[in-house]
Chain A
């Protein structure tokens, strides 16, 4: 490891354990005598929303508490958020990028639209096989270690054992498979793509203080501009032929994301549906099924 501070950003959804990733690795690095810092992003986002966590690791004391804006390494735990601009925001040239995906490496590179040193792993599949839940954090830690070699797998094992006293075995297994099965570009086989212009997130233009409303009043209903569809990892698919137009799904949706089509049946508003599955569960004719969201 070089003498510099390595900055790592983790992406996932609230509730998927991104913060746990950063914490376990920080603790493991500290246990090895290194210096590390992990921090969650302190936002109001709730479970399901895309969130990030931050990790710094160094051989020397870290005198830096500002946010990580130009990461050396990015790890994405959830395949359905790969296309979000936040994931590639500010990323360094030829940074290491590890994605949980079942897509081909070349395809992911194209989707990302930036020239990174890419690694792919189908962590969801591994987690489902071993942990029986799509919680990919420990699998992704394995891939991270393989790609970066910053901490030792042994030290992370220790941390996992302390953190998950009852189910550490499956988590360690998942980590090892994440380590073994990572597919990583090497200098020899690096694919170079034409970078997309919008690959890097443009700084949103925020209003100047004079432009804020007096007393910070807000326009009614303006939250509709925020599309919560990106929170979804499962998607309700409706078989309209079985729909009896009862509207129960519409009544129970906390996100008012079901609407009536001209023929009277109900469909999902994918801009806002968070994929909670209530509609599918409550539909009296079982005409809604929750399916894996496509990347």
Chain B
């Protein structure tokens, strides 16, 4: 556990539960945990938009809903557009004095498929238009809702139902799409990565984002025991291991400036993370070596970006 908990954490955390129990997520679902924490950070004046995916299915079987906040689902590929429509409407209604000026947070929360694949166009459009909203991608690294099919966010080497490992296959053969970098390339004011294993970090980022004007993006790794093939009680550890191995670094890009939130003098070997998950079980040492090398390269590249901004002080 590298995040320091001060004793009596509940004092520091909003007690209100806006993602209520009774939701149908699997035992030990990191996605459900992340949503719970995000809503704690966002507070009451918040509207949430979700695309189709695990989150929508586990939370809203008619006539029940796990959402204590206003929430809307339309389809799989358009959460960012729907959120943009809400934001645009509020703006117009305020300009016409049809709505008070009280700030309402608009948060779209989608899966990796709904974000980096089918929803990427709508997201890019919403970023480019500059809607004042926060988009959170809950990245469980596959299409979990439909039965663990690969997405462009599935990591290299992972076995999924559509990128299965086999006699002549090592599972997913493409590298995980870097959504945070894609978001940052839109020159939006705030981009961050997060993971519910670090609840304070995640909540702080949500709050920072909501204080920032314009489009914001948080890419949140969420553990999925069902899709990853790991023990349900291990998920918090796994999130930390993803960070400590450098597989999923925690950083922010504030107005284009990179900031590493958690640095390590030495990264843990990737096997520390991979070995707890059956989706990586088939990997041979040579495959793991490829992953190790790539992780180190990307870690160095990230650190260079951070250093470069430190030196030049580019704002």
Residues on A close to B: CB < 8 A?
A: 14-15, 44-49, 207, 212-213, 216, 218-228, 231-232, 244-248, 250-257, 260, 269, 271-272, 274-278, 280-282, 284, 290
Which one of B24, B67, B233, B235 contacts A228 once the chains associate, using CB atoms below 8 Å? B24
**Nearest chain A CB to B54's CB is how many angstroms away?**
8
**Cα distance A218–B25 in the bound complex, in angstroms:** 19
Residues on B close to A: CB < 8 A?
A: 1, 5, 7-10, 13, 17, 19-30, 32-33, 36-37, 54, 57-71, 196, 199, 225-226, 231-237
Residues of B contacting A223 in the complex (Cβ-Cβ under 8 angstroms): 20-23, 59-60, 64-66
5 contacts between A and B (CB under 8 A): A228-B21, A251-B10, A254-B30, A277-B231, A277-B233
Known: A228-B21, A245-B8; 9 extra A-B contacts, CB below 8 A, are A44-B24, A220-B70, A223-B22, A223-B60, A225-B64, A247-B13, A250-B10, A256-B19, A278-B233
Max chain B Cβ within 10 angstroms of own Cβ: one of A245, A275, A276: A276
Q: Considering only CB atoms, which chain B residue lies closest to A218 in the complex?
A: B65
Known: A222-B64, A272-B21. A47 touches B26 (CB 8 A): yes
**Cα distance A282–B234 in the bound complex, in angstroms:** 9
Q: Considering only CB atoms, which chain A residue lies closest to B33 in the complex?
A: A254
**Cα distance A275–B59 in the bound complex, in angstroms:** 19
Q: Considering only CB atoms, which chain A residue lies closest to B232 in the complex?
A: A276
- Contact check, B23 vs A251: say whether CB atoms are below 8 A apart: no
Residues of A contacting B32 in the complex (Cβ-Cβ under 8 angstroms): 254-255
Residues of A contacting B23 in the complex (Cβ-Cβ under 8 angstroms): 223, 228, 255
Known: A272-B22, A281-B234. A231 touches B27 (CB 8 A): yes
Which one of B20, B29, B59, B62 contacts A216 once the chains associate, using CB atoms below 8 Å? B62
**Cα distance A46–B224 in the bound complex, in angstroms:** 11
- Contact check, B226 vs A15: say whether CB atoms are below 8 A apart: yes
Residues of B contacting A44 in the complex (Cβ-Cβ under 8 angstroms): 24, 57-58, 61
**Nearest chain B CB to A224's CB is how many angstroms away?**
4
Residues of B contacting A46 in the complex (Cβ-Cβ under 8 angstroms): 24-27, 29, 54, 58, 226
Residues of B contacting A222 in the complex (Cβ-Cβ under 8 angstroms): 63-65
- Contact check, A275 vs B27: say whether CB atoms are below 8 A apart: yes
**Nearest chain B CB to A218's CB is how many angstroms away?**
4
How many pairs, one residue from A and one from B, have CB atoms within 8 Å of each other in the complex?
147
**Cα distance A231–B27 in the bound complex, in angstroms:** 8
**Cα distance A291–B45 in the bound complex, in angstroms:** 40
**Cα distance A15–B37 in the bound complex, in angstroms:** 27
- Contact check, B67 vs A47: say whether CB atoms are below 8 A apart: no
- Contact check, B5 vs A248: say whether CB atoms are below 8 A apart: yes
**Nearest chain B CB to A147's CB is how many angstroms away?**
31
**Nearest chain A CB to B213's CB is how many angstroms away?**
28
**Nearest chain A CB to B82's CB is how many angstroms away?**
15
- Contact check, A220 vs B57: say whether CB atoms are below 8 A apart: no
Among all A-B residue pairs, the 5 with the closest Cβ atoms: A277-B233, A276-B28, A223-B22, A272-B21, A47-B26
Which one of A47, A227, A281 contacts B237 once the chains associate, using CB atoms below 8 Å? A281
Q: Considering only CB atoms, which chain B residue lies closest to A246 in the complex?
A: B7
- Contact check, A218 vs B21: say whether CB atoms are below 8 A apart: no
**Nearest chain B CB to A162's CB is how many angstroms away?**
16
Residues of B contacting A14 in the complex (Cβ-Cβ under 8 angstroms): 26
**Cα distance A55–B10 in the bound complex, in angstroms:** 49
- Contact check, A248 vs B24: say whether CB atoms are below 8 A apart: no
**Nearest chain B CB to A8's CB is how many angstroms away?**
24
Q: Considering only CB atoms, which chain A residue lies closest to B203 in the complex?
A: A251
Residues of A contacting B29 in the complex (Cβ-Cβ under 8 angstroms): 46, 254
Residues of A contacting B27 in the complex (Cβ-Cβ under 8 angstroms): 46-48, 231-232, 274-276
- Contact check, A257 vs B21: say whether CB atoms are below 8 A apart: yes
